[in-house]
């Protein structure tokens, strides 16, 4: 079995694969204050509850945007699974051309999304990841990574609004019945959630408009990340929701580097 580890700024998502099938997934907080011992206990407990036999793990891949936690999970991979993990980076043969001024500055999760999205749907693509940040990644019809956009995430916006104001409360992120709020909480909920949906809509239209200058067909729009289903339920622009796109990308990159099966791109 293969383990894919997606270390994000807020959560770490871990998926176990049997060949191409995702068999189980667990989510752990990406708290920097946690020690390796604490993370190990939490990880092994969760894998046991999912019925995963750690002795059958024969490969580990890691995508990370948190260097400190990368070191911890590399150590855990060696101690718990007896595997030297593959770390996703532009130093690997990813099989794509990255059209970023500095390719090394593209987050590993964004590269995983691009490769997994292109493998599943071809291109051109617009991949929107609703995480700590909301990122838009644009993939050409030949699989090249063209670049993208980084915006504040939905939860980040809500937390920052509460943190930076004296009288605005911390709120649950759910839509009120009316677009016009009649109290502070519903006004904030409308502003944050519908604001995110409408901002996404406008951004996709802008990307499609620019992309049509170089592509013969309209880009497919994919959503991933924690709020992907919510936004997709309230927008006809999103054609596919892929909850575990980063994990799929980690597995595909691992297979490519190790010559397993068909090359992803």
CA angle 90, 96, 97 (to 5 degrees): 80
Share of the chain above pLDDT 70, in %: 98
Pair 17, 2: CB distance under 8 Å: yes
CA distances from 226 to 2, 153, 258 (A): 23, 10, 30
Instruction: List residues with catalytic annotation.
Output: 109
Q: Which two tokens stand for residue 49?
A: 């509850």
The four Cα atoms 53, 56, 61, 62 give a dihedral, to 10 degrees, of: 30
Q: What is the dihedral of CA 21, 24, 30, 34, to 10 degrees?
A: -130
| Alpha-carbon gap, residue 56 to 52, rounded angstroms | 8
pLDDT of residue 174: 85
- CB within 8 A of 106, min separation 6: which ones? 90, 98, 100, 145
Q: Which residue has the higher pLDDT, 164 or 124?
A: 124
Q: Which residues pair with 221 in a beta bridge?
A: 126
Chain centroid to Cα 29, Å, comes to 15
pLDDT of 201 reads: 96
Question: Do 8 and 67 contact (CB within 8 A), yes or no?
Answer: no
pLDDT score of 52 more than 90: no
Number of Cα atoms under 13 Å in the Cβ half of residue 128: 33
Residues with Cβ < 8 Å from 57, sequence gap 6 or more?
A: 1, 2, 3, 16, 81, 83
Segment 126-133 shows an average pLDDT of: 94
pLDDT of residue 262 exceeding 60, the answer is no
- Asked whether the beta carbons of 51 and 45 are under 8 A apart, the reply is no
DSSP E strands in 8-76: the ranges are: 11-18, 21-29, 59-64
Q: For residue 181, what are its two tokens?
A: 């709020």
Structure tokens at 45: 């407990």
Question: How confident is the model over 148-174, as a mean pLDDT?
Answer: 87
CB of 197 closer than 8 Å to CB of 234: yes
Q: 22 has which bridge partners?
A: 17
| Stretch 177-191: mean pLDDT | 90
Of the ranges 166-180, 184-198, 212-226, which one carries the lowest mean pLDDT score? 166-180
Alpha helices, DSSP H, located in 190-259: 195-211, 228-233, 245-257
* Residue 163, φ and ψ in degrees, nearest 5: -65, -35
Rounded Cα distance, 198 and 230, in Å: 13
Residue keyed to tokens 């239209």: 205
Residue 232 has pLDDT above 90, yes or no: yes
In a 10 Å sphere around its CB, with 0-12 CB exposed, 13-18 middle and 19+ buried, how is residue 148 labelled? buried
């Amino acid at each position: 079995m293969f383990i894919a580890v997606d270390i994000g700024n807020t959560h770490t998502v871990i998926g176990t694969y049997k060949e191409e099938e995702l068999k189980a997934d667990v989510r752990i907080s990406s708290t920097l204050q946690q020690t390796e011992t604490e993370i190990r206990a939490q990880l092994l407990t969760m894998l046991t509850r999912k019925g995963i036999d750690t002795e059958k793990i024969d490969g580990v891949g890691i995508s990370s945007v948190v260097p400190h936690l990368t070191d911890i999970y590399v150590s855990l991979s060696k101690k718990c699974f007896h595997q030297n993990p593959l770390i996703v980076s532009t130093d690997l043969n990813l099989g794509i051309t990255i059209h970023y001024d500095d390719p090394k500055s593209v987050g590993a999760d964004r590269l995983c999304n691009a490769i997994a999205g292109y493998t599943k749907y071809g291109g051109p693509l617009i991949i929107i990841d609703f995480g700590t940040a909301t990122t838009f990644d644009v993939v050409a019809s030949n699989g090249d990574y063209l670049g993208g956009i980084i915006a504040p995430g939905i939860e980040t916006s809500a937390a920052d609004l509460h943190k930076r104001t004296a009288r605005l409360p911390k709120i649950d992120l759910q839509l009120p019945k009316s677009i016009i709020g009649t109290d502070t909480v519903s006004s904030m909920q409308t502003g944050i959630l519908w604001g995110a949906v409408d901002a996404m809509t406008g951004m996709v239209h802008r990307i499609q408009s620019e992309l049509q200058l170089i592509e013969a067909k309209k880009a497919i729009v994919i959503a991933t990340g924690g709020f992907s289903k919510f936004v997709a339920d309230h927008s006809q622009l999103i054609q596919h929701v892929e909850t575990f796109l980063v994990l799929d990308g980690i597995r595909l990159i691992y297979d490519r580097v190790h010559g397993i099966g068909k090359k992803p791109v």
